[in-house]
Homo-oligomer: A and B are copies of this chain.
Amino acid sequence: MRLADLETPRLVLEAGRMEANVARLKARLAGLGVALRPHVKTCKSVEVARAIVGDQAGPITVSTLREAEHFLENGFTDILYAVGLAPGKLNHVLALRHRGADLAVVVDSVEAAQAVAARAEGIPALIEVDCDGHRAGVKPADPLLLDIARALARGAEPRGVMTHAGDSYNCRGAEAIAGMAERERDAVVRSAALLRSAGFACPVVSVGSTPTATFARSLEGVTEVRAGVFVFHDLVMAGLGVCGVEDIAISVLATVIGHQRDKGWIITDAGWMALSRDRGTSRQAVDQGYGLVCAEDGRVLGDLVVADANQEHGIVARRDGSPFDVTPWPVGTHLRILPNHACATAAQHDAYQVVRAGDDLVARWPRFNGW
């Protein structure tokens, strides 16, 4: 099978680009002396996760217990579930632990810590720290950390602290991201110091986002980095300067189904169901619409973007909206669309069509969703 034979839309993965992305981040983190605990919420694929951690049992980060379950069934046991735990999920967590997962959870309140400790099963838990006002977590070095750790110690295992610099996605330039990385590092290192001063060993000090992992200058005191998007990269990362457009390893194969010649529109069969509704580049200097358009061979076609998307229709136009000659792209032509946000676009598909050199399909790697 070749790309040209695929019924569209389909999600294409360039294995060589992915492997280069993995090698680059691993080399960087090795230089900084920290472990990588890749976030598999981006790929939700055993084969992709294996391309990162090899034949080890992890470590990996997950965003759902469905991910934890699927990866456990495929030989991964060292798992961090990095979303604040809903107490109603404790039975599920315990079932996975009893099946052999060293599954750790995350809490950021005394009430959640009490729920975990009440099971008296020694469930390991990290306390979430809020380094940037972006989402969940306790303020860095807040005495509340001690209350939570003490609540955990009554039946769970306080294993350390974690944070996520989500605000790094809003930074402009490498300097700003490096500053955010230092803020992220400082938030957990100070929090760990407070916990240690009260007698908690705090063996895990975890940070993570692809931008901060790429530009951090020091990760002293940090034990692991969680990053997910780096494996594929995307247009948001390219807009941040974290990668180049040529590093983006996934794209959506689409077919031209019509035109509006007077408007300079090419209509394709890749709408938001294939691309996702993510508009992450809309706040960046270069707005890529619903994705940047390439030829079937992966060559970027100047400034053509997916300007609008219905469920199963994509409207390809020039970024500035000016009409152009659509004749070179007749009905039936294949195009490839680079995604704004790799996690969101990949989630719209049930498999990766894997290519290496040329357009031969070398594998089909399944992926999954759900909870």
Interface residues of A (CB under 8 A from B): 7-10, 41, 63-65, 83-89, 92, 108-109, 111-112, 115, 128, 130, 135-136, 166, 255-260, 267, 269, 272-274, 276-279, 310-313, 315, 330-332, 343-344, 347-350, 369-371
Query: How many copies of the polypeptide does the oligomer hold?
Result: 2
Q: Is the CB of A166 within 8 A of B8?
A: no
Docked CA distance A349–B348 (Å) = 11
In the complex, which of the residues B88, B255, B260, B274 contacts A7, with contact meaning CB atoms closer than 8 Å? B88
Tell me which residues across on chain B come within 8 A of A315, comparing CB atoms: 135
- Nearest chain B residue, comparing its CB with the CB of A278: B277
Report how far A271 CA is from B63 CA in the complex, Å. 11
Quick one: given A136-B257, A278-B277, A344-B277, are A312 and B350 in contact (CB under 8 Å)? Answer: no
Closest beta carbon of chain B to A147's beta carbon, Å: 14
A94 to B330, CA, bound (A): 22
Contact A84 B166 (CB under 8 A): no
Residue of B nearest to A228 (CB): B311
A23 to chain B, nearest CB (A): 25
Docked-complex contact B87 and A332, CB < 8 angstroms:
yes
Please determine whether B371 and A7 come into contact, CB atoms closer than 8 angstroms.
yes
State whether A350 touches B332 (Cβ < 8 A). Answer: no
Question: Cβ of A369: which chain B residues have Cβ within 8 Å of it?
Answer: 273, 348, 350
Q: Are B371 and A9 in contact (CB under 8 A)?
A: yes
Asked whether, in the complex, the Cβ of A92 is within 8 Å of the Cβ of B7, the reply is yes
A325 to chain B, nearest CB (A): 16
The answer to whether B109 and A258 have CB atoms under 8 Å apart is yes
A167 to B276 CA separation, bound complex (whole angstroms): 21
Q: How far apart are A227's CB and chain B's nearest CB, in angstroms?
A: 14
Residue of B nearest to A272 (CB): B344
Chain B residues within an 8 Å CB radius of A87: 331-332
Contacts of A272 in B (CB 8 A): 278, 344
Q: For residue A9, which residues in chain B have a CB less than 8 angstroms away from its CB?
A: 371
> Which 10 A-B pairs give the minimum distances between C-beta atoms?
A277-B277, A84-B257, A86-B255, A63-B312, A87-B332, A111-B331, A83-B312, A84-B258, A277-B278, A136-B258
Cross-chain pairs A/B with CB under 8 angstroms, 16 sampled: A7-B65, A8-B371, A10-B371, A63-B312, A64-B312, A86-B257, A87-B332, A109-B259, A115-B331, A115-B332, A128-B258, A130-B260, A135-B315, A136-B260, A277-B278, A277-B344
Residues of chain B lying within 8 A (CB to CB) of residue A112: 257-258, 331
**Cβ of B88 and Cβ of A332 under 8 Å apart?**
yes
- Residue from B63, B130, B332, B348 in contact with A86 in the complex, judged by beta carbons closer than 8 Å: B332
14 additional A-B pairs beyond A8-B86, A135-B313, beta carbons within 8 Å, are: A7-B65, A41-B312, A86-B331, A112-B258, A112-B331, A135-B310, A135-B315, A136-B257, A273-B347, A277-B278, A277-B344, A311-B343, A347-B348, A350-B370
**Nearest CB of chain B from residue A82's CB, rounded to whole Å:** 9
Asked if residues A83 and B135 are in contact (CB atoms below 8 Å), the reply is: no
Knowing A7-B88, A344-B277 touch, does A311 contact B257 (C-beta < 8 A)? no
Distance between Cα atoms of A64 and B9 in the complex (Å): 10
